[in-house]
Amino acid sequence: MRRFSLLQRFAVVSLLLVVVLGVLMAQLLATMVSKRALQSATDAAVLTTTVAIQPLLTPADLANTLPAEKAAALDRAVSGSRGGTEIARIKIWRHDGGVLYLADPHTTSPVHPSTVPSDELAEALEGNIEAEVISSSDEPDNAALLARYGTLLEVYVPILYDGEPGPAGVFELYLPYQSVRDSIRADTLQAISLLAGGLVVLWLGLFRTVATASRRLRDESRRNEYQALHDALTGLPNRTALQVRIDAAIGQHRAPGHSAVLVLLDLDRFRDVNDTLGHGHGDALIRETAARLTAHVGDEGVVARLGGDEFGVLLPDVSSRAEAVLAAEAFRAALREPLEVDGVPLVVETSAGLSMHPADAADASAMLQHADVAMYVAKRTHRGVVVYDRADDEHSPERLRLLADLAVAIESGQLVLHYQPKVGVDGSLQGVEALVRWQHPERGLLPPAEFIPAAERTGLIHALTDVVLADAVAQAKLWYDAGTATPVAVNVSTRTLLDVGFADRVMAQLAVHRMPPSLLCIEITETTIMEDPDRARAVLTRLAEAGVRLSIDDFGTGYSSLAYLKTLPVHEIKIDRSFVAAMTHSEPDRVIVDSTVALGRRLGLAVVAEGVEDEATRDALVGLGCELAQGFLFSRPVPAADLRAWFQVPQTMSGARPTG
Ligand code: C2E
Ligand code: CA
Ligand code: CA
């Protein structure tokens, strides 16, 4: 049965059922037809006797022997009964079981029918009509009659008179039945043919419907399978399909020293294309990239789209690491060829990450993950092609678990904000910086360094920033309503700053809490800005125009030129902690702090010294004319509630920390 398709099995089983049904129905039909025929023949016989013969007899006739003139009348009636039903033989039985009258009206040769009472006669004498078809008989007289008529219907009809308690006698009639029989056969045959035809049509219809439905289902499931394994935009295998292919490649035999290599390619600045030229162009670029890669790779490997602007190329058999790098370089070169997307000329740069089996990955998911790590290193360091190195990997199992937990933590409110005061020379609280911590259910309070970098890589940073922003603005609003307009600063990382919707979300938060935008400060590092200066400028300008304050964090650690920073709508710079901490014992650091303070002043920017831990540093800063500072000397970052004293006791840069 296994060898046959489901449809074939259905065909056979349903056909069998239809045949069985047909046979049963045919039998039923045949029985019904013959029963009906028998009934109507019997009815006719009863009618003939009661209408044509019985009136000739009186109950008295039936009690005695028949007078000759009555017998003659009966003879006439019997042979003249052609108009109704032809009678082959008639016997009239008396109640006592004797034969009153007997005639074979159409038989010429003399016969001597039996005058022995039968069981049927006994039944008829009880008042029941008995009928039976006979087509053969042992009795010689019946045999002669059968030879003449073929088949006979034998009917016993009780002779009843009104007012009499039981039958006065019984008619035993033999009627020719062959023609009825023939027509029964013909009728039955016709009915059965019709039935069979109907069933065949029914079965064919059923089969057709099921066949069509089954074909549709098969097509549908094939389509679903295709969709589950392919990317809709490019038709390339998707991540799932690639995983299957990697597993297959890993299982395959290779010469010693050879590797299966996964190259992960990510377009640089694809987002710009999407944002500036529109999604249509973005899609076209992705399709073109897919086509080029596929053409370039040919039969050598498998090209897949992993989502967004990320492609994977699996090379199942590569002889060396150098060859793998060369191949990846060749992919990049092929994609770098200038192309036109709807008339717009573009040059696409890509970053590639490589992972190799068996050297650094044992299974498909490790290969994908490692190639991903390498690709991010390539992106970050602008190195083009990077082969996975364990040292770059932050995807250790516990880090990964932490990341999974982080998604939950963001949603379930495990992130808490601590606030660190920005203190002015006059002792006033000039503002606070919101610094996020993760109140981890098992590991306790985690510092941002433990989860922010991973959140940035995975995109969780957007949700995280949204939560921080909402909490910080809500807290600032509480202070504001309590009568202290304390600006609150929120740290924003590169990915968030370059996120298209970010400025809108900031404005929405301010609107929700009905907070003056000037009470919110966004801290961005130099490196964040330099990663994509044009875009950063667009976002920052929008925020600044709305009234939000902007601060350059960790100032001095990046490579931004001051000339460039001057063109940005910045209000504040924060001198990096490393310079401030070293300024009392390192002359170059002191000079850097000095010139930064002077420069900030000249540009009209507020200058904050970060990481002031001791009084010597504080004094040195005051000496340089630095007007704002932040550091453990004044306060560590603490929960909002612990800042209460700061709002009550005026502070100076003297370092006299309020308690409580
Ligand atoms: P940051 O923006 O430079 O924040 C200042 C960091 O220096 C804070 O570390 C703070 O606790 C620490 N600090 C302040 N005063 C002193 C001092 O006198 N001595 C020393 N040694 N350290 C001091 P924290 O809270 O661990 O934050 C580290 C970094 O994490 C922050 O550096 C910031 O870049 C990032 N971060 C914090 N919260 C957020 C956030 O909500 N979003 C994003 N994207 N990044 C955040
Ligand atoms: Ca900061
Ligand atoms: Ca900083």
Question: Which residue out of 491, 493, 498, 550 has the highest number of ligand 1 atoms within 8 Å of its CB and is therefore the one to mutate?
Answer: 491
Residue nearest to atom 37 of ligand 1 (CA): 435
Cβ–Cβ under 8 Å, residues 312 and 306: yes
- Residue 355, pLDDT score: 95
Distance between CA atoms of residues 106 and 176, nearest Å: 11
Ligand 1 atom closest to the Cα of residue 492 is: 44
Q: How far is the CA of 611 from the centre of ligand 1 (A)?
A: 10
- Residue 626, pLDDT score: 95
Distance between CA atoms of residues 326 and 339, nearest Å: 23
Cβ–Cβ under 8 Å, residues 265 and 315: no
In the block, residue with structure tokens 């597993």: 247
- Residue 497, pLDDT score: 87
Q: How much is the average pLDDT of 533-547?
A: 90
- Residue 651, pLDDT score: 45
- Residue 326, pLDDT score: 94
Q: How far is the CA of 568 from the centre of ligand 1 (A)?
A: 23
Q: How far is the CA of 656 from the centre of ligand 2 (A)?
A: 23
Cβ–Cβ under 8 Å, residues 33 and 188: yes
In the block, residue with structure tokens 């044509």: 52
Over residues 208-225, the pLDDT tens digits come to 999 999 999 999 999 998
Q: Tokens representing 273?
A: 């294309």
Alpha carbon 573 to its chain centroid, in Å, reads 51
Query: Three-class SS of residue 545?
Result: helix
Distance between CA atoms of residues 438 and 408, nearest Å: 11
Residue nearest to atom 45 of ligand 1 (CA): 491
Residue nearest to atom 15 of ligand 1 (CA): 631
Ligand with smallest separation from the Cα of 496? 1
85 or 355, which is more confident? 355
Alpha carbon 586 to its chain centroid, in Å, reads 64
Residue nearest to atom 33 of ligand 1 (CA): 491
Ligand with smallest separation from the Cα of 434? 1
Q: How far is the CA of 435 from the centre of ligand 1 (A)?
A: 6
pLDDT-based confidence at residue 2 (cuts at 50, 70, 90): low
Query: Three-class SS of residue 589?
Result: helix
Ligand 1 atom closest to the Cα of residue 637 is: 11
- Residue 422, pLDDT score: 96
Q: How far is the CA of 553 from the centre of ligand 3 (A)?
A: 5
SS (H, E, C) 642-654: HHHHHHHCCCCCC
- Residue 398, pLDDT score: 60
Q: How far is the CA of 555 from the centre of ligand 3 (A)?
A: 8
Ligand 1 atom closest to the Cα of residue 525 is: 34
- Residue 104, pLDDT score: 84
pLDDT-based confidence at residue 380 (cuts at 50, 70, 90): confident
**Mean pLDDT score of the chain:** 88
Over residues 122-162, the pLDDT tens digits come to 999 999 999 999 888 887 778 888 888 889 999 999 999 88
pLDDT reading at 82 higher than 60: no
Residue nearest to atom 23 of ligand 1 (CA): 611
Phi, psi of 308 (to 5 degrees): 55, -130
Ligand with smallest separation from the Cα of 522? 2
Distance between CA atoms of residues 508 and 498, nearest Å: 17
pLDDT-based confidence at residue 659 (cuts at 50, 70, 90): very low
Phi, psi of 416 (to 5 degrees): -125, 155
Q: How much is the average pLDDT of 372-383?
A: 86
660 or 352, which is more confident? 352
Cβ–Cβ under 8 Å, residues 421 and 643: yes
Q: 37-75 burial, b if ≥16 CB within 10 A, otherwise e? A: bbeebbebbbebbeebbbeebeeebbeeebeeebbeebe
Residue 131: CB atoms within 10 Å: 19
Q: Which residues line ligand 1 (CB under 6 A)?
A: 420, 435-436, 447-449, 452, 465, 468, 491-493, 523, 553-554, 577, 611-613, 630-632, 637
Ligand 1 atom closest to the Cα of residue 435 is: 38
- Residue 656, pLDDT score: 45
- Residue 396, pLDDT score: 60
Distance between CA atoms of residues 642 and 474, nearest Å: 17
Ligand 1 atom closest to the Cα of residue 493 is: 44
Question: Which residue out of 435, 521, 523, 573 has the highest number of ligand 1 atoms within 8 Å of its CB and is therefore the one to mutate?
Answer: 435
Distance between CA atoms of residues 69 and 272, nearest Å: 127
Ligand 1 atom closest to the Cα of residue 447 is: 26
Residue nearest to atom 3 of ligand 1 (CA): 554
Over residues 216-263, the pLDDT tens digits come to 999 999 999 888 899 889 999 999 999 999 999 999 898 988 999 999
Q: How far is the CA of 434 from the centre of ligand 1 (A)?
A: 9
Q: How far is the CA of 438 from the centre of ligand 3 (A)?
A: 19
The Cα-based distances of 374 to 31, 52, 392, 459, 588 in angstroms read: 86, 115, 7, 17, 36
pLDDT reading at 391 higher than 80: no
Ligand 1 atom closest to the Cα of residue 455 is: 44
Ligand with smallest separation from the Cα of 420? 1
Residue nearest to atom 41 of ligand 1 (CA): 436
Burial of 465 (0-12, 13-18, 19+ CB in 10 A): buried
Ligand with smallest separation from the Cα of 422? 1
By C-alpha distance, which of 415, 360, 155 is closest to 250? 360
Distance between CA atoms of residues 485 and 480, nearest Å: 5
- Residue 532, pLDDT score: 79
Q: How far is the CA of 39 from the centre of ligand 3 (A)?
A: 111
SS (H, E, C) 81-92: HHHCCCCCEEEE
Distance between CA atoms of residues 51 and 481, nearest Å: 118
Q: How far is the CA of 411 from the centre of ligand 2 (A)?
A: 23
- Residue 596, pLDDT score: 93
- Residue 394, pLDDT score: 62
Over residues 614-650, the pLDDT tens digits come to 999 999 999 999 999 999 999 999 999 999 888 875 4
Cβ–Cβ under 8 Å, residues 305 and 270: no
Full DSSP string of 282-311: HHHHHHHHHHHHHHHHGGGSEEEEEETTEE
Ligand with smallest separation from the Cα of 448? 1
Lowest-pLDDT range of 254-258, 368-372, 403-407, 443-447: 403-407
- Residue 649, pLDDT score: 54
Distance between CA atoms of residues 295 and 290, nearest Å: 9
Q: How far is the CA of 491 from the centre of ligand 2 (A)?
A: 5
Q: How far is the CA of 386 from the centre of ligand 3 (A)?
A: 30
